[in-house]
Amino acid sequence: MREPLRLGIAGLGTVGAGVLILLEEQQELLRQRCGRDLRVTAVSSRNRNKNRGVALPSNVIWCDDARDLAKSSEVDVVIELIGGAEGVARQLVESALDAGKHVVTANKALLALHGSQLAARAEKADRALCYEAAVGGGIPVIKAIREGLAANRFERVYGILNGTCNYILTKMEDTGADFETVLSEAQDLGYAEADPSFDVDGIDTAHKLSILASLAYGAHVDMSAVYIEGIRHVGAMDIQFAREFGYRIKLLGLARRTAHGIEQRVHPCMTPLGSPISEVGGVTNAVVTVGNYAGQSVFEGPGAGAGPTASAVIADIVDIARNQILPPFAAPSSQLEHARASPMELHQGAYYLRLTVLDQPGVMAGITAIMAEHGVSIDSIIQRGRAPGAGVPVVLITHDTEEARMNQVLTRLKGLKQVVETPVRIRIEKV
């Protein structure tokens, strides 16, 4: 049997503790599958005395500064579980690669903002930079795209990449409650942070999407190219109307190559009832790939949590133990494309539009005239209630049109004195 692979773990929070537990409980299985022992030799965390539910090995080296793991002669692989795109996490990963150590990370923000540079650094050092746990928790989607589907050109890659948002939207549908009520409940249950903006405003999903798009399309990671829109404006009324029209609202990250470049967008979507992505509820994540040979593949599972995320971290460590070292983004970094970003204004699709208008004669005529003027045709319309002098909802579904046209329509509609609330626009995805 070969020499043990020596691991240094930076960050002993939920995932770090999960990695320790998994290594301990699955020790014999992993030895059989790797042909060598996986041994934790060094760790770093802010609190030495915290009860993490698992004992550290008796001879482990404790580093008060995580960056010291990169310098340690007792570490072959640095496992970065600190988080954050800058500061200690970035410095640790860079210095570890420069010191000739392999790196495993669950840090999607770091990869979304610096992935291309780090990939080049890893390849120069002939070391692995692995990140299965950064997207989709326990779902092995990185390996699926990079390896299992390597023979395919991808027509589309999309998915539910944030469990917090999916939980909120699922609960809104199940209970009829509004966004703020369900968000508060999610915070009480620990599904949402005290400051939920990273999740509900779409940033977390955008980080993950930019990584998937790079893998799928052989391009440099470009977080700045992602159009981002969160779920704060989705109301209980929109959830209800969606079902009437045969849809369910999901926050999706979507990527595809177009004639204008690579389109990357994150926003709430109306998804057809019965489609695989619309049936994914609660905190579950799912990724759908559409390859030109494999067709549609659906990957679904827990997107977070100690066990699933630790499983993904260990999967990367096993690859390193087997000496399976691949370019981080499928192609060598020197061959990655500096792809154009497809402008969101050129996106084509159908739209759901909810207006709150004064119940007065001629209002609908004014709305339809504006839409006709900008070349946007209406497929379906619902007008509810009679409340003279008060606001009532009017809901429209459009035929396929260009985003730029819809933006023009929205600007005009906001200017109508009979429109008493900001219009709600949700894109329809025929997934």
11 and 83 in contact (C-beta within 8 Å)? yes
Residue by residue, DSSP assigns 365-404 as: HHHHHHHHHTT--EEEEEE----BTSEEEEEEEEPSEEHH
235 and 424 in contact (C-beta within 8 Å)? yes
Nearest to 212 by CA among 261, 151, 143, 271: 143
For 46, residues 6+ apart whose C-beta sits below 8 A from its C-beta are none
Going by the DSSP 8-state scheme, the letter that residue 412 receives in this structure is H
Parallel, antiparallel, or unpaired: how do β-strands 391-398 and 77-80 relate? unpaired
231 and 171 in contact (C-beta within 8 Å)? no
Q: Rounded distance, CA 83 to CA 118, Å?
A: 15
Largest distance between two CA atoms of the chain: 84
Query: Catalytic: 208?
Result: yes
What are the backbone dihedrals phi and psi of residue 324, each rounded to the nearest 5 degrees, phi first?
A: -95, 95
Element (H, E) at 130: strand 129-130
Element (H, E) at 293: none
Going by the DSSP 8-state scheme, the letter that residue 182 receives in this structure is H
* Residues paired with residue 36 on neighbouring β-strands, in sequence order: none
Catalytic residue among 108, 171, 208, 250: 208
Strands (E), 191-274: 227-228, 247-258, 261-272
For 73, residues 6+ apart whose C-beta sits below 8 A from its C-beta are none
For 229, residues 6+ apart whose C-beta sits below 8 A from its C-beta are 202, 265, 266, 267, 268
- State the catalytic residues: 208
